[in-house]
Amino acid sequence: MNVIETKKLSKFYKQADQDVKALNNVSIKFQKGEFTAIVGPSGSGKTTFLNSIGGLDSPSSGKVFIESNEITKLNSNQLIDFRLKNIGFVFQSYNLIPVLTAKENVEFIMLMQGIVKSERNKRSIELLDSVGMKEQLNRRPNQLSGGQQQRVAVARALASKPKFVLADEPTANLDSSSTSNLLDIMNKLNKEENMTFIFSTHDQRVIERANRIITLEDGKILSDVNVK
């Protein structure tokens, strides 16, 4: 079953009076339960692609469908609601809320979903424990290292029990042990709950776990290989 599909997706930016083609006519389908790595050099369009299929960035042309919903037709409020109910994001820049603790950051999306306090409390502690952050529950982002902030960001992305997780370089600031633990958690969710993961990455450790590897270059798909 196709759960994500793009049709002739393009994104152009103006840069020094020139059009930069971040995505160039990308048509691709993803099946439910994939664990996919999107690779390619810096500037190849990986982040733009993730932001486009997640509804964070509007394409210049083309369409994005998620479970038959054409999200490129939704207005901003509809997109916010759709993302809240369906998609977990892990950003390279973390995007944690500075005034909230690690636990409060993880709880925040569940609060927006209307989940009761006892469940928010239980799930946020479990998730932070699973990424090795139980001892830092009450620390704010400025009291955490880059790697610790990344782990909180991953816990937050998983807190809403999303159908899809879009992760932009999720292991960029993690050591080998933390990366392995994080990928184990994601693999478990992928296999047990059939959660779909799409990563942009340069990290060979992530690529080795993927069951599909898509290579982007100059905004185009250079190769698309199922490896497992």
pTM over 0.85: yes
| CB-based contacts of 191, cutoff 8 Å, min separation 6 | none
Give the H/E segment covering residue 140.
Answer: none
Domain residues of the chain, as ranges?
Answer: 2-226
Encode pLDDT of 105-149 as tens digits.
Answer: 999 989 999 999 999 999 999 999 888 898 999 999 999 988 889
What are the tens digits of pLDDT across the range 32-75?
Answer: 999 999 999 988 999 999 999 999 999 999 999 999 889 999 99
Helix (H, G, I), strand (E, B) or coil at 26: strand
Q: Which two tokens stand for residue 146?
A: 């880059």
Alpha carbon distance 134, 51 (integer Å): 30
Of 3.40.50.1860, 3.30.2270.10, 3.30.1330.10, 3.40.50.300, the CATH number of 2-226 is: 3.40.50.300
